[in-house]
Structure 1
Amino acid sequence: MTDLVFREATAADVAAVVALVESAYRGEPSRGGWTTEADLLEGQRTDAAGIGAVVGGEDSVLLLAQRGEDLLGCCELRRAGEGGYFGTFAVSPAAQGGGIGRRLLAHADAEAVRRWRSAFLEMTVIAQRGDLIAWYERLGFARTGDRKPFPYGDERFGRPLRDDLEFVVLRRPTATPAQVP
């Protein structure tokens, strides 16, 4: 079987990335994996305009993980001061649990250091996703104590099924530049 290959997304990848993210987080297909938000939100998770902005951004990159022609994972990296913002992280529900997410995160960490000399990666996770937060904590992320409001009323991010959603901010130090190949 072909090994995992990482590459930077182009405009030609936008539709496939939107489909991947939607399948990992929303609707019935997302229930095939453990990252589903289907019990918290319905509607879209992202759209072509949002993904296209990351792909075309000056201080952002969308990284893809592929095996052969199969798109298995993606993540966004964005320069954020002395750190990097890590988001739009998705692995195909059928491929979850196989180490792809860990490998993609390690690749993103190295890219943030290589591109911007980022000292840390920071991300937001819905506070009610305890299982997902615990996974990130096992990978070195820690809660900063900061919280951010959920964008209620903006259907670009979905339609909440509860009224208490908010984000917690997680951060982890990146590998030092000497550790990055």
Structure 2
Amino acid sequence: MLTAPPTFRTATEADVPALVALVESAYRGDASRAGWTTEADLLAGQRTDADGVAAVVANDSGRLLIAERDGELIACCQLEHRGDHAYFGMFAVRPDLQGGGLGKVILAEAERTALTAFGAPEMRMTVIRQRAELIAWYERRGYRRTGQFTPFPYGDERFGIPQRADLEFELLVKPLG
């Protein structure tokens, strides 16, 4: 059975509670283990909160892109125009829909939007370097590892409670267009 392709729109303040639930379900706790993007073995606690999501929704230099199917929220991602590039973050696909190609569709739409809406020649993102499978997924889609690392914000539980002492982010980049 073929499923309908998702429709896309920019998130509004009214979407914040559903977006928080989606992001949390994709990355943290037992629900996240239904998909392959879980960070539950690396981080406990929250991935985001209503204030964090609301700040992304309200940011004038970007947008939180929502993917829906039949009016139901199934995925999201953050796009932020940062001068010579677009930043990609807060990428979440409903755990029971992961592994079926939906993430590729969302990422392609994010790249198209960054290029057409912002004129950004490059997409950048940061990924926890210990997420080898996730980094490999991005590499298969044209992203390259830079070897540039930034520390995980230890002590700031808004980003989770680290389960190990060596977490850090690596910058990934991809030319667009």
TM beyond 0.5? yes
- Report which stretch shifted further, 110-119 or 159-168: 110-119
Coordinate RMSD, CA, aligned: 0.8
Counterpart amino acid of residue 79 in structure 1? H
Residue 46 of structure 1 aligns to a residue whose secondary structure is coil
Confirm whether residue 15 of structure 1 aligns to residue 17 of structure 2. yes
Q: Who is 2:109 aligned against? A: 107
Q: Who is 1:97 aligned against? A: 99
Residues 18-69 of structure 1, C-alpha deviations (whole Å, 9 max, x = no match): 0000000000000000000000000000011111111111101000111012
Residues 115-155 of structure 1, C-alpha deviations (whole Å, 9 max, x = no match): 21101100000010000000000000001121010000000
Specify every segment of 5 or more residues in structure 2 that has no aligned partner in the other structure, as ranges.
none
Q: Who is 1:179 aligned against? A: none
Counterpart amino acid of residue 117 in structure 1? G
Deviation at 1:80, TM superposition (A): 1.4
Among all aligned residue pairs of Structure 1 and Structure 2, give the percentage whose two residues are the same amino acid: 57
Counterpart amino acid of residue 59 in structure 1? S
Instruction: Report how many residues are paired.
Output: 175
TM-score by length of 1: 0.95
Out of 125, 134, 137, which is 1:135 matched to? 137
CA distance in 1, matches of 2:96, 2:156: 29
TM-score by length of 2: 0.97
Residues 47-99 of structure 1, C-alpha deviations (whole Å, 9 max, x = no match): 11111111111101000111012211000000112110000001000000121
Counterpart amino acid of residue 6 in structure 1? F
Out of 159, 162, 169, which is 2:161 matched to? 159
Runs of 4+ off more than 4 Å: none
Q: Who is 2:41 aligned against? A: 39
Specify every segment of 5 or more residues in structure 1 that has no aligned partner in the other structure, as ranges.
176-181
Out of 86, 89, 94, which is 2:88 matched to? 86
Deviation at 1:2, TM superposition (A): 3.6
